[in-house]
Structure 1
């Protein structure tokens, strides 16, 4: 990687090298198991000019998102997060019957369904054909397109300017940061709002959340680098919220630069935290690679010792982050017999690279394993409750991030007290 994709500076510095992996959502059908998989270097770098942390754009969004395995609605906590967001933003922005809301990367309508319920005109822009079809079946108007300045202008011409444009958990997924941001600006009214949620690099580094590094994520943002990215497309950051989602996210509130006004005190406070953590100098990244290596050693040691003791270990969840972890650690079915997932799209398939079978969740209760390795660790509270039945046979849950944690499971009645 010779140039930063945001500012064009030469030779971004290495942060961590995770080897080579296939795209994290490229689950394999049984007939593909004897076919070679293409892998791509997963080497994270940071620009020492604008401090955008990034991966080289070795695959395109079209390769990843035209047919997609992730459906947001299978996470009940994520749907609730969206419901709460919609309730709050209606109040904050003053949305009403005459308003227009656009969500970019709207997935299966997990968020806009709450807008539809309120009688507010809305449109989802979702590039994945299969996921967008699910949204339309649920009654959420959805356009199957990738956002570009031309797409934004076409939507504005047909539907009018949007009072609110939502771009949750997509700003990391596009290599053309400036072009995508110009698309957001094309959509939003001159006095409108753009709301972006994205994982916060500060918590990724502090909490060792390296498994969220995968080829769908082209960049990783601080508030400082996100502000610069927004400005590249004509938007100005005016406020920020810190969220617990995805292990720690930022909710960025932006407006067209010509009408935005001064940023809030919260923006300055988070910028100060990032600077104090050293994220605008190379020293802030110096220890990250060593801490990543320790996660790998600890997880492998646990799995190997469990196997030698005749203990059974299965997985829960088949998220993209789990595939980074499994491939980086070299975990195969001899150490993790299978994993389960609530998304039936993945059932009967195999994880990319590691080729671990993905089964329906009911399989855990049938097999009664000694340990369940929870791969979507960011949903720890939700999944601990869902897996409370593991207590019935004395099973334990294993969380690999930020450090290996093996926990006993309380029965439902006790855990609710």
Structure 2
């Protein structure tokens, strides 16, 4: 079997909605064939066998789930994974907030069991453990689960299914909290995962889910959130439909700025009798006013994406043509998506800098731009950074104040490409 045929076996088109089962889709945008956003490569003379898969986004006209057009085999995506949970100030504070929210609104007490799905290297669970909870992570990335276990956070290197949930319940008892931070959007078999949650959750337990909010994606034109790992982009309305269909009750929600715009949703068993907060109906009503229940609500996003795909490459190429050296700040999945979709490569972007050691010394998927450590970047700074990690913009601009004072500049890509200098951040 040739490489192309092998790659085709690893992907399938989405036909039925994973939330409601309908098959009437609005086509929103297509980006053609794009490499996997976290599939970093060792430097090589040729990359002709690098796989790429169709990437686009559609919206279910029944429940308004936004979904990617194609699903890549999770064994390909996750068994060896290069995304490591950030230890930035922003994320550290956010993890503290999540733990406090779950304690206060979910009634979490010391000694209760907390199980996190997609727990990565265990940083979030470590916050719960510090406060006295018993913790267990479940993550299919064997390399990251090994790191978590070495750090003292017990982690199963498995996908979370009903069978996994039964194993956990037999060995650890029911969970007072099941947590999924920015993992729920990565799951195709939502019914299977929710069956596992049902099996594991204590009668008065809480399932806390953090997902990218489709409204923020649309308002900020943040098409870099669209990549193969992110199968779903949720409205509150859509999540309410999903949980109701699977015998659960969404009782609280909070809109958060983290990761460019997210929802933290709290879900329980209906028989627990938790009152539904006004925040739920408030956000659902706002979604209705934005016409996100109809095709019309998505057309401005399409126009905005088209404009950024023209304006951002033009701005970067004009800087290069003027003799300025440009580098990328951050080698996240968002960053690789921006570069691939906008057609920017080594001719425009000399390198990308990133704190993740797993990525350093490798090249970005698709564009093959080299990844360098922050120490290397400081020794060989560019004139301009393209801020690929724009969701950490405020923290990065504070951190790089010296670079700005020395005359360096940043290009921010969303919602409209702009140049930021020391003068503009005073």
Q: TM-score, normalised by structure 2?
A: 0.93
The whole-number CA distance in structure 1 between the counterparts of 2:62 and 2:97 is 37
Unaligned runs of 5+ in 1: none
Provide the aligned C-alpha RMSD in A: 1.7
Structure 2 match to 1:2? 15
| 1:111 equivalenced with 2:124 (yes/no) | yes
| Counterpart among 25, 40, 54 of residue 38 in structure 2 | 25
Q: How does 1:8-407 map to 2 (within 5 A)?
A: 8-31=21-44, 33-407=46-420
The whole-number CA distance in structure 2 between the counterparts of 1:19 and 1:389 is 40
Unaligned runs of 5+ in 2: 1-13
The whole-number CA distance in structure 1 between the counterparts of 2:423 and 2:142 is 41
The whole-number CA distance in structure 2 between the counterparts of 1:396 and 1:295 is 19
CA contact (8 A) 2:54 2:70 kept: no
Residue 380 of structure 1, CA deviation? 0.9
The whole-number CA distance in structure 1 between the counterparts of 2:354 and 2:290 is 36
Residue 37 of structure 1, CA deviation? 1.3
CA contact (8 A) 1:342 1:360 kept: yes
Residue 74 of structure 1, CA deviation? 3.5
Residue 155 of structure 1, CA deviation? 0.8
- CA gap of 1:85–1:267, structure 2 versus 1, over 3 A, is same
CA contact (8 A) 2:334 2:388 kept: yes
The whole-number CA distance in structure 2 between the counterparts of 1:368 and 1:26 is 26
Aligned residues: 413
The whole-number CA distance in structure 2 between the counterparts of 1:183 and 1:189 is 12
Q: Deviations over 1:187-235 (max 9, x none)?
A: 2111111110111101110111111000001110000111122233332
Q: Deviations over 1:85-127 (max 9, x none)?
A: 2133223333333311111111111111111212221111111
The whole-number CA distance in structure 2 between the counterparts of 1:269 and 1:246 is 22
Task: Give every structure 1 segment of 4 or more consecutive aligned residues whose post-TM-superposition deviation is greater than 4 Å.
Answer: none
Residue 386 of structure 1, CA deviation? 1.9
